[in-house]
Structures are given as structure tokens and as C-alpha cells.
Chains A and B, each alone.
Chain A
Amino acid sequence: MSRRWLLLYVVLYMALLYAPIALLPIFAFNDGQVIAFPLQGFSTRWFEGLWTNRTLHSALWNSLVVAVISSVLAVVLGICAARASARYAFRGQGAVMGMIMVPLVLPEIIVGVSVLIVVNTVLGLPLGLWAVIAAHVLICTPFAVAVLSGAFQSLDPAMEEAARDLGETPWGAFRTVTLPLVAPGIVASLLICFTISLDEFIIAFFLTGASPTLPVYIWGLLRFPADLPIVMALGTLLVLASIVLLTMAEIFRRRGAARAGRKDSGGFL
């Protein structure tokens, strides 16, 4: 009996979790300027508007550049940290790992403000996408470490040693033995970091300068009621893209778990 109530609660919880997102396509295909019920009829005109919007395209391009560079750099740093913590035990390890993981819980406004102060006041440099990339690498690295740690921890160090005994260089042993085993984890963490960076607004708003990323552009649209249906259409596409990216990440993560012969405990974190 109590178990049935629990299931009912969980179903309700999940429904509420998805409810706002479910509204997106409803209003994106709604043929009305105002985002409210009752609906006005079916229309694809908001999506059509997206194809011809130059400002939107350049914002999207900025976001893609930022997300690609940030995710690659964050994953490279993440590989270093995940392998160091899984393979070696050394003094100060806990403290250093703690420092690398701190951005996971730090309020994003603090990251945005502190990097802004360094760029603007200390270095006296103009803001721009490079500053957004620098900050996104910082906040994406802990997520990469979290995903990659699972992959590296389940590796048997004896396998790499065996390769070395058979004459491989340390790099060769890493490349031919370890890398293929953790490759799915790397792909998964790349996709997750890419998604985080693509969606990040709070930090980007502080650092983006004159060339806005996509979320900063959307923030600008939110001020104008006439642009809101476009935001709905854009949001629908972004949610679809995120779901596709994360599903791919999850598939790769599971493949990695299977390849390493590890029991799948599930979850990104």
C-alpha cells in the first residue's frame, strides 16, 4: 500500500519536473503573439523566422565556438585530474582535487564576477569570447572529472604495466591500452561539457562583451514581448539538441562501463 503511494508520488514528481519543458513546443507552434492559453491555432512561422535571423546565427556560432573549445580543454584537464587521482596516491591529493572540484558548488555569479575583475580591472583587457571560454573551462572541468573518474578508477593498473613489460613506452602503453578503455568516458564527458557550456548564461552575461553567446542573445529577447514566440521556438530546438547530446553521452558512458567490465551504477555524478 505505502509502496503504491510512493510510486504515485514519484510519477507526479516526474510529471512536474517535465511540465514546463512540455509547454515549449505547445507555444512554439502556437499561431499567437501572446504566450498564454487559449491557443490560437497551429503555425510554423516562429521556426521559419529563425532561419533568416542574422543576429541569432552569429550568436549561435559564438556559442558553438565557445562550447567546442571549452569542452575540449575541460576534458583534457579532466583526464589529467581523473588519472592522477585514480592511478597515484600522493600527499595533498585530497586538497588539490577539492580545489579542482570546487566550481561545482560555487555560485556562478562569483565565478563570473571574479574573472570579470581579473580581465577588466587587473589585466585591463577587453572582454570577449576568450574570457567566456576561460571561465567555462573552469566550471566544466569538475563535471569532466566526475564522469572520467568512474572510467579511470575501474581500470586495472596491471594491464598498462603488462604493456610496458612487453616493450611499450609509457605514452605508448597509455595510448594503446588505457585510452581505448576510457574512450567512451571521454566522449561522454565531452558531450556533457559541451551541453553545459552551450547553455550557460550567468557567467557568459558578465564576460561576453560585444559578441553575445546564444543564451545572452535569448536574455535580450526576453525583454520584448513581441520576440517571445521566437524564444519558444528556439527553446524547443535547444531542448531537443540537449536531449540528443545527453542521450548520446549516456550511451557512451554505459558502453564505457560495459567495456571496463564494471557494474553500471548509473548517473553522471
Chain B
Amino acid sequence: MGHGETSKGWALIAPPALYALALLALPLGAVVVLSFFTQDFLTLDTTPTLENYRIVLTDPGFAGQLPRTLLVRSVTIAGLVTVCTVLLAYPVAYYVSFHVAPERKSLWLFLITIPFWTSYLVRVFLWKVILNFDGVVNRTLLNLGWIDEPIRAFLYSPAAVVITLTHAFAPFAILPIFVALEKIDRPLLEASRDLGEGTLRTFARVTLPLSMPGVVAAVLIVFIPTIGDYVTPRLVGGPDGLMIANLIQSQFGRLSNAPMGATLAVIAMASVGLISLLFVLATRRWTR
């Protein structure tokens, strides 16, 4: 690594790095600073205080919703979505990696990613149509004679949020697991079978542990963004399915209390960051 190499590399990477610094690092800093301010109607009080944090963490009836309840619910929903997404995605990644001919793999990945890129809002709304009182699921169950009257509980529930988000993030979980599976040396698996291990035991003792880096990446790439979704809870969640992002959004919109919104954003980010960090540490022995 020569000196010229370093300066050339830095000169080239400077524009995107400075852009990320200006549009990401500095604004995130501004969020943290603002979270220590308070706002009284339209006047911003810039005396640093922990008042917002006190209100969020201890006040029982804040803004009609308990921030703590919403936070716990958001983490629970995001956790459930992550578990469902990754468990459901693994067999698909496995199939594409081990049973699809190499020249057809990119076509499969392309087909898997397409729904992910297409009109997010409309996709979430379609789940509302599917789960609705007179929606596709209820109609089908009625026609099959499995139920006598439509089930209202499908829509406007935390379960509806979990289903919709699991569907939305499916490709995000498949890709990292696929990449990890692709890296596994195939002779290793043959060796395991030659040594008398069955298919299932080979999977449990060789394939699964070796694919763990992909699973961990999939968990993080699903769990972290899920917390920040306010469209899905708003459209299909109902009052019991609202998440922390809805509260953040309303602070900047209807309630116009930006410092409180910033505090909620900081707390949400800190919770997600802490959980992700603990998860990474807990899975270290497989990913190292």
C-alpha cells in the first residue's frame, strides 16, 4: 500500500464520503441535539434538558399512546417479522443455491426481487384488500364453507402487520442467505456424506453452521428497517397495531413537536442498535 495509492483512493472516495457525512452523519447529530431541546407551540427552547426523555420513558398517558408500549410492541412485531421472514426464506435460498442449475440462478433471484421493487404503497394496500372483512381470504373461507361469517380480526391487528411486513421483506432475507450458501465448498458436503452422515445431519452439522453469516445478515437487514415503517401499521394495523414510527411521524406532522419526535427517533434507534449489537455478539461463534 503506497502513499500515492492512499491519496488517490481518498481523492476518489471523497465525494460519496462527504455526501454521506453531510446528509447522514450531520443530520443524525442534529436529531440527537434536537432531542435535548423542548418546544412550546411554535417557539423552540434550546436549553438542554432531559425533559423529553423523562416524558417518553415515564409519563403514563403521553399523546394518547404509551410510547413505552409502542416501543415494546414495535420491537416485538419487528422481531416476529424477522423470525418469520428468515425461517420462510431459508428453504427458498437453499433451493436456489443447491437445486437450481447455475445458469438459471440469476433468473430466479431476479424473479424473487421483482415484487420487492414494485410500488410499496400499493402492495401494502393490497394486503388490506386481501385481509378485509369482505376480502379475498374471508370470501375464500366462506365459499369453502370453513367459516359461517367473515372474520373481522384478520385486518387491523398486529398479526396483519406481521403478515404484510413479512411479505414485504421476503427478498431481503433470501439474498444474504443465498450468498452465504453459495460460498460453501460443495466437496465439504460430499465429504460429510462419504463419512456416513445423512442428508439431514449434514445439513445440521455442516450447511447450517456455515450459512450462519448469511442468516445473521438477513436478520439485521430485516429487523432494523422494519422498526421504521409507519405505512403498514397505519394501513392494516388498527389502534392495537400502531408502532413507534407512527408516533414519530405524528410528532413531525399533526402534533408539530419536532424535539419530541427527535427524542422518540433517538430512543427507537438506540433500542434497535442495542438489540442488533447483542444479537451480533450472541452469534459471534458462528460468524467468525
Contacts and interface: CB of A to CB of B under 8 A. Distances in A.
Contact of B132 (A3, A36, A264, A268): A36
Contacts of A17: 112, 115, 167, 170
B243 to A, nearest CB: 10
Given A36-B134, A90-B9, A105-B225, A80 B16 contact: yes
Contact of A199 (B120, B126, B178): B120
- Pick from B99, B178, B220, B252 the residue with the most CB of A within 10 Å: B252
Given A96-B17, A108-B228, A115 B27 contact: yes
Contact of B92 (A13, A35, A238): A13
Nearest to A247: B110
A71 to B, nearest CB: 13
Interface stretch (A48-56, A116-124, A158-166, A175-183): A116-124
Given A117-B27, A118-B26, A202-B231, A231 B225 contact: no
Given A6-B95, A137-B23, A90 B10 contact: yes
A99 B17 contact: yes
A239 B226 CA distance: 23
Contacts of B9: 84, 87-90, 93
A3 B203 CA distance: 13
Contact of A109 (B12, B28, B230): B230
Interface residues of B, number: 91
Contact of A88 (B12, B26, B123): B12
A138 B115 CA distance: 23
B146 interface: no
Nearest to A236: B122
A96 B121 contact: no
Interface stretch (B62-70, B151-159, B205-213, B257-265): B257-265
B221 A105 contact: yes
B72 interface: no
A267 B106 contact: yes
Contacts of B130: 19-20, 23
A113 B115 contact: no
A268 B96 CA distance: 15
A199 B121 CA distance: 8
Nearest to B123: A20
Given A90-B1, A113-B31, A242 B117 contact: yes
A196 interface: yes
B110 to A, nearest CB: 5
Contact of B220 (A105, A117, A196): A105
A91 B16 CA distance: 17
B53 interface: no
A267 B258 contact: no
Given A80-B16, A88-B12, A90-B9, A23 B126 contact: yes
A20 B126 contact: yes
Given A103-B24, A265-B182, A222 B119 contact: no
Nearest to B5: A88
A247 to B, nearest CB: 8
For the complex of A and B, the 8 pairs showing the least CB-CB separation, nearest first, are A107-B228, A266-B106, A88-B9, A114-B27, A235-B122, A90-B9, A84-B13, A20-B126
Interface of B: 1, 5-6, 8-10, 12-17, 19-21, 23-28, 30-31, 34, 44, 88, 91-92, 94-96, 99, 103, 105-115, 117-123, 125-127, 129-130, 132, 134-136, 139, 167, 170, 175-176, 178-179, 182, 199, 220-221, 224-231, 235, 245, 248-249, 252, 258, 261-262, 265, 268-269, 272
Interface of A: 2-3, 6-7, 9-10, 13-14, 16-21, 23-24, 27, 34-37, 76-78, 80-81, 83-85, 87-93, 96-97, 99-100, 102-111, 113-118, 120-122, 134-135, 137-138, 141, 145, 192, 195-196, 199-202, 206, 215, 218-219, 222, 231, 234-235, 238-239, 242-243, 246, 250, 254, 264-269
26 contacts: A7-B99, A10-B96, A13-B91, A23-B130, A36-B134, A81-B13, A83-B12, A91-B1, A93-B9, A100-B20, A106-B24, A107-B225, A107-B226, A107-B229, A108-B229, A109-B228, A109-B245, A109-B249, A110-B28, A113-B265, A114-B27, A201-B121, A201-B231, A231-B122, A235-B119, A267-B178
